[in-house]
Structure 1
Amino acid sequence: MNSALNELEHVSLGVMAQVLLHTQALPLQVWRSAGQINQALGTAPRHAWIVRRWLAALARASALREDAERFAWQGAPPKAAVEKLPRLYAELGFPASMAPLHNHVIECLPDLLRDQLALAPLLLQSGDPVAVLGAYQHNHFTAAINQALAARASEVRAHRDVLRVLELGGGGACTTHTVLTTLQAREKVYRFTDISALFTGAAQRQFRLEPGMHFGLLDLDQDFAEQGIEARSQDLVIAGNVLHNAHDLPRSLGQIRACLREGGSLLFSESIADNPAMLTFMHLLLSPPAGAPLRETDEAFIAPDAWRQALQAQGFQLLEVWPAATDPLAAAGQRLFHAVGVS
């Protein structure tokens, strides 16, 4: 799997190089700053951070030289061997739809960066929106993270016999399915939430016969109590690859802490670094909406030590980060975090 992951990264670096060369945003033997490159490409301001992350990734891979915040090609730029995508995605455990979907996005990247096309409608042309938007979560690495999360969820003790679980940003219910399978024998009240009725409706259809299930909308950036989540009411909060979407992370973590009983657990998965493949694909969805304030930082994800500090500041103790950096599963850049509320 790690060999396929490395190959996919190289293909994605080649895609970045292809866009920068073919649009003449960064020609050969020319030095340009990130601002000049975005201007030459015609990047919409809200997507400019994506191109800056491309430049950082290409520089890390020694494809670009950097001097005084300007960039130039170093040697032959990497090739965009997109014909490898079907094999690589299959080896990584993704559904068969992933490769043609990514390839379609690659073909449209200049127009997407210029806001002449929008990614969400483009993706939704490919079929069922829940399946399409959740496809990138179905892979061997995320499956391992979800299995580990579910195993730890099964060890959480209920405060009053019935385990009360709140899932945030449930999306395509990839995490939900694994956790419910593991908790099948437990008496529970499980509240599946998402910001979109598209996902809560799909989850309700999928899990309607599961005892103890409830479904509702919830916005990470709004007051939880005003959305029906009472203070100190939950034994466990689950968030699968969603907390990076919080506009004000300290506030959102504070809301989570407030809804947990003393000693309750927060289990969440997150990427801890850029993924070059997603930088030419799904990360475009992380750009702010048109007309909204621009991102304060180009970093979409934060490192484990930063998570530890953020959690501690809001009344959590971080018990575990899994897998360890030396574990082969760590290569995908995903981690499971287990924190508990403390006084």
Structure 2
Amino acid sequence: MNEALTDSVLTGLPGVTDWQLLRGSGQDTLLVTGPPPATRETAGPGPDDDARAASRAADDGDAAVRGTDPTALPALMRQLDETALLTMARVLDRTRLFRDGGWPRTDEVLQALAVAPRHAWIVRRWLRTLTAEGRLDQDTATSRYHSLEAPDRGDHARALRELDTACRGLGYPASMTRFFRAAAERLPLLLQDRASLQEVLFPDGETSTAQGNYRDSIPSRWANHAAASLIAGECRRRTAPTPLRVLEAGAGVGGTTGTVLEALGDTPVDYLFTDVSPFFLRVARDVFGDRPGLRHALFDIQADPLAQGFEAGSQDVVLAANVLHNARHTGRSLAALRELLAPDGLLVLVESCQEHYQALTSMYLLMSPAPDEQGWFTDLRAGQDRVFLTAQEWTQQLDAAGFDPLPVLPHGTHPLAAAAGQRVVAGRVRAHGARPDPGRVSAALADRLPPAVPLPRVHAVDDIIRTTLPTGASR
């Protein structure tokens, strides 16, 4: 932590009317904003054109899942969630803390399960979730839990066997059912970090299970085709003869990549497939081969893109599918991605915007902080034991970071929006002449600080979203 970055040093920086200092175990970050413009300029195609593009994307999403019954999805999702509730209760009951009238505290539950500290938030979510579902009671005076409604072994085993029906209805492959079952069976070991969920999700390095989750399921198919439609639309409106420049951040197993590349067809593109892991770059080379215009690079969304060798204003589109919820501070990551985009560039996100209990017994284990990580989320999620933002929160974050948000897809009354919560959130880079120049701000800080003091990374935003953060996370 850079103790030299005091209020007196940060006050009065050129063009800065407000700021937020984000402390980190590595480099600190300074978000700066200037005076609001008298009028908003339009650098892109305009809100009407973007609204039409969003409507076309929704139609393309619907076409991708035609032949399925979206009204059946809520009941299928609930079946997955019901099985997860039984799994949570079963694991908690095996501690014996709730038997014979036991009233344990949260810390006693964590100790009995020998939960690794980085996964403690998951068990805290279990306790709150079971309470909200009427499967557990909490005494408000003592914060102790009691009266756990635990399934017997046969009921739990039967629920796990019946997962296959729900998974098939949702479009998951059989490997996804096996994954859910294996995660439930190994859950105590996974919570203790004595087993790895990566080994369950990628057995022997195979990616078919993850692809089934991010590519083949009905919610993912809809979202991927809608996102691809938005990106393909950028080609149609372009007049420049140069290839469309697309950077996909955190591309993973390429569950969205294939759909986007198919939608782009023979359009000349410079498509940069990136991920923080070399493993996924190797997978992409195997899956997509030597497709013209496809390149690969390492990219960490937590770190400054410019410091990783990426150029400001170098992309027409940035795509981030099922990855940006991992950003430790949403506003910082959005501001950094905006700097990579051209003045009228488009950001397209695919995000889960509501929680499903099944993730609390499986995929959430991949979202815990790293074993050596000193902090976790420092934005509006700080101290809340949650990962996902709502659609409204994403829209607010985009606006504050300097994007004009497009309509969130699917719209709120669509069956898929209520059933799955998988949404496409997009924004157009907003022109803003009064936004502070990060280079000038950094130069001013260099003049104010001793030479040996490291400078923070600086990102300009249009607004600062204030949150109550852990001590030392911000000013």
Measured on the aligned residues, the alpha-carbon RMSD in Å equals: 2.0
Match of 2:313 in 1: 232
Count of aligned positions: 342
Asked if 2 retains the 8 angstrom alpha-carbon contact of 1:175 and 1:240, the reply is yes
Over 3 Å counting, the alpha-carbon distance change for 1:62 and 1:326 in structure 2 is: farther
Match of 1:318 in 2: 405
Structure 1 segments, 4+ long, off by >6 Å, are none
Match of 1:204 in 2: 285
Asked if 2 retains the 8 angstrom alpha-carbon contact of 1:240 and 1:268, the reply is yes
Asked if 2 retains the 8 angstrom alpha-carbon contact of 1:64 and 1:71, the reply is yes
Match of 1:118 in 2: 196
1:106 aligned to which of 177, 184, 202: 184
Over 3 Å counting, the alpha-carbon distance change for 1:207 and 1:99 in structure 2 is: same
CA distance, structure 2, for counterparts of residue 273 and residue 293 of structure 1: 27
Over 3 Å counting, the alpha-carbon distance change for 1:226 and 1:159 in structure 2 is: farther
Asked if 1 retains the 8 angstrom alpha-carbon contact of 2:98 and 2:148, the reply is no
- Quote the offset at 1:300 in angstroms: 0.7
Match of 2:392 in 1: 305
2:130 aligned to which of 58, 62, 76: 58
CA distance, structure 1, for counterparts of residue 240 and residue 97 of structure 2: 61
Higher relative contact order (CA 8 A, sep 6+): 2
* Identity of matched residues, %: 37
Q: Which has the larger radius of gyration?
A: 2
Asked if 1 retains the 8 angstrom alpha-carbon contact of 2:93 and 2:148, the reply is no
Aligned pairs for 1:160-309 (under 5 A) are: 160-161=240-241, 162-295=243-376, 296-297=382-383, 298-309=385-396
- Where 1:321 maps in the other structure, the secondary structure is coil
* Structure 1 residue runs without a partner (length 5+): none
- Quote the offset at 1:136 in angstroms: 2.3
CA distance, structure 1, for counterparts of residue 413 and residue 139 of structure 2: 32
Q: Which moved more, 1:170-179 or 1:75-84?
A: 75-84
2:129 maps to 1:41: no
- Where 1:265 maps in the other structure, the secondary structure is strand
- Quote the offset at 1:48 in angstroms: 0.6
2:85 maps to 1:13: yes
Match of 2:98 in 1: 26
- Quote the offset at 1:217 in angstroms: 0.8
- Where 2:233 maps in the other structure, the secondary structure is coil
* Structure 2 residue runs without a partner (length 5+): 1-72, 377-381, 432-475
- TM (norm. structure 1) is 0.93
Structure 1 counterpart of 2:410, which letter? P
- TM (norm. structure 2) is 0.68
- Where 1:170 maps in the other structure, the secondary structure is coil
Structure 2 counterpart of 1:340, which letter? R
Superposed CA offset, 1:189-239 (max 9, x none): 111111111111111222233221111111111221233321111111111
2:71 maps to 1:71: no
**Higher strand proportion (structure 1 or 2):** 1
Over 3 Å counting, the alpha-carbon distance change for 1:27 and 1:263 in structure 2 is: farther
Asked if 2 retains the 8 angstrom alpha-carbon contact of 1:62 and 1:74, the reply is no
Superposed CA offset, 1:254-281 (max 9, x none): 1100011112111111112222111111
- Quote the offset at 1:75 in angstroms: 5.5
Asked if 2 retains the 8 angstrom alpha-carbon contact of 1:163 and 1:189, the reply is yes
